[in-house]
Structure 1
Amino acid sequence: MAKHFPDQKLMANMTAKMLLELGAVRFADQRPFTFTSGLASPVYVDCKRVISYPSLRGTLLDFLLATIDRDIGRNSFDVVAGGESAGIPFAAWIAAKLSLPMVFVRKSPRGLGPQASIEGDLEPGARVLLVEDLTTDGASKLQFCKALRRAGAQVDHAVVLFFYNIYKDTLAHLDDNGLRLHWLADWWAVLEAAQEMDAFARDDLENLENFLHAPLEWSGEHGGATRIGTA
């Protein structure tokens, strides 16, 4: 008998509403947010707030596990890896749910050798699932992925709670580097949920929608980078 999973669109809508209820979606007051990539944005999602709310956290973990089962298969990997630092708690909870070993990946290596960026025991050839809280343009996911591969791991999939899903060619670039991304919600789901909930002022929603349709142009107009990979 085929296994049935929760509807993907429903999970995206519920995830977006939970992030809004937690106050995880923030609008910049005066100056825009600027990411490490140099991109400017009028909005920011703080997924780290999830760790302080056990009930909602449990629901989101169930959604992540359903996404893993549907899109990857829990028998497709041997180890769960969290990216420093926000990905670590989510990776730990998923590893515990699946009774699998866990490691975490540092942003910068400590010491020398192929495992200088890895904390925990990682056997060469291990199939690793990379877990993070969110993805903007995918750059940090590839950095973590390269560190895991240098240590001898096989990394084909990454899962996150939130994906910006507004920067052109992000998914294609990840795919070209052998990494497939899976996520619960994106900015389009948040926009829809915010409109349903009447969560923000009309001007804020209009500004958000303008940004989502032309994020690089918005960034350039507000002092940020105008393309991926530049500051």
Structure 2
Amino acid sequence: MNDSSKLSRMALESGAIRLSPEKPFTWASGYKMPIYNDNRLLLGKAEYRSFIAQIFAKYSEASVDNVDVIAGTATAGIPHATTLADRLSKPLIYVRATTKSHGMGNQIEGPLVPGQKVLLIEDLISTGGSAINAVNAIREVGGIVEHCFCIFTYG
């Protein structure tokens, strides 16, 4: 069984994929669709978390040169980015959708030095808006983002 098939099976077993053609779900983008994916449910089993990190590590090693930092999008991308960062022994940052309204007012939390190459981890992509927002935020502070991995895409 290939990686995609195995991950699809895990998503179905965990209940992460839900179908409701008669009563469509409203996504964060505002679109109404008959399918919903909640990858947070994949976090419940160590086997699933480990497999996702293994896939991300495999594709990272095969297609991404010299990543310095792993970034997760808030909130559901953070745990998956964390397991990958641990597996690759890389620093971890995360990116909020917007800057904080208190404290330091950060949009990015964690160690990021201008010029570092960042691999962005998103749990899922529908329109790409949150991933683009995160890439722009990282680039604004001097990070270099050339790749974004996700568990699931509706596209």
Q: Which amino acid aligns with 2:23?
A: R
What is residue 102 of structure 1 aligned with on the other side? 92
Q: SS of 1:140's equivalent?
A: helix
CA-CA distance at 1:116 after TM superposition: 2.7
What is residue 142 of structure 2 aligned with on the other side? 152
Q: Does 1:31 align with 2:23?
A: yes
CA-CA distance at 1:81 after TM superposition: 0.6
Q: SS of 2:15's equivalent?
A: coil
More strand by share: 2
What is residue 10 of structure 1 aligned with on the other side? 2
- CA distance, structure 1, for counterparts of residue 17 and residue 116 of structure 2: 36
What is residue 70 of structure 1 aligned with on the other side? 62
Q: SS of 1:107's equivalent?
A: coil
Residues 9-55 of structure 1: per-residue CA shift (max 9 Å, x gap): 81111111111111111123753111222211011011111111011
Q: SS of 1:56's equivalent?
A: helix
Q: TM-score, normalised by structure 1?
A: 0.62
What is residue 49 of structure 1 aligned with on the other side? 41
Q: TM-score, normalised by structure 2?
A: 0.91
What is residue 125 of structure 2 aligned with on the other side? 135
What is residue 80 of structure 2 aligned with on the other side? 90
- CA distance, structure 1, for counterparts of residue 118 and residue 51 of structure 2: 23
- CA distance, structure 2, for counterparts of residue 142 and residue 123 of structure 1: 20
- CA distance, structure 1, for counterparts of residue 25 and residue 101 of structure 2: 33
- Which fold has the larger relative contact order, with Cα–Cα distance below 8 Å and residues 6 or more apart in sequence? 1
Q: Which amino acid aligns with 2:69?
A: V
Matched residues, number: 153
Q: Which amino acid aligns with 2:42?
A: V
Specify every segment of 5 or more residues in structure 1 that has no aligned partner in the other structure, as ranges: 1-8, 166-231
Q: SS of 1:89's equivalent?
A: helix
Q: 1:210-225 counterparts in 2 under 5 A?
A: none
The range that moved more, 50-59 or 20-29, is: 20-29
In our comparison, the structure showing a higher alpha carbon Rg is 1
Query: In 1, are the aligned partners of 2:70 and 2:90 still within 8 Å (CA)?
Result: yes
Specify every segment of 5 or more residues in structure 2 that has no aligned partner in the other structure, as ranges: none
Q: SS of 1:31's equivalent?
A: coil
* Stretches (4+) displaced over 3 A: none
Q: Does 1:21 align with 2:40?
A: no
- CA distance, structure 2, for counterparts of residue 111 and residue 82 of structure 1: 20
